[in-house]
Amino acid sequence: MVDPMPTLHEPQLTEVSSVWREPSVQMARELAANKEVVLGKLRFYCEHGRPEDWEGKFAKQVLAHEEEVLSEIVGILTLAASLAVMLSPGVVIATLQRVLIEPALIFQSTFPSEVAWILADFYQRNKETPGTFWPDIMGERPHNFPGRNENPLGNVSRLLQLQR
């Protein structure tokens, strides 16, 4: 039996812009337009009543709960769609190997955040806990973060060399 050929993955060096904003807004519109059917199928009104029930005394609360449920559905659908475009492990590895050759790639504004976070989780300046100085990789510094950002290029190269 012949072993199959190994798959060669290409690195991904640019962040894919979020294509889910507009579809999620559209999903929210569609769900809102069909909320009676959607919430009816979920038996929402059996449990919470309708806004006009009880002479409308609880309309505000029922409407708020409707919005929460519909927002949650939109979030779940958007998350499912976005997970479908996550980088495969092979592409992540190929991208990390490319960063080993050219560490400055991490500073490109389009560099995939998925890969940057992997680097940030393992990044160390010296001997502190890995991930402590993640802002060096991510290029941002949260309020009250100790010290200032440093150029991580030498440490990223060293990190990737150690992981080989």
Mean per-residue pLDDT, 121-147: 77
Q: How many CB atoms lie within 10 A of CB 59?
A: 15
Lowest average pLDDT, out of 2-16, 72-86, 89-103, goes to: 2-16
Confidence of residue 141 (pLDDT cuts 50, 70, 90): confident
Q: Is the pLDDT of residue 3 over 60?
A: no
What are the angstrom distances between the C-alpha of 96 and each of 66, 108, 112, 154? Answer: 44, 14, 11, 15
In the block, residue with structure tokens 């030498």:
154
**Cβ burial, residue 127 (10 Å; 0-12/13-18/19+):** exposed
Question: What is the model's pLDDT at position 158?
Answer: 63
Q: What is the pTM of this model?
A: 0.48
Q: pLDDT exceeding 70 applies to what percent of the chain?
A: 87
State how far the Cα of 163 lies from the Cα of 122, in Å rounded to an integer: 10
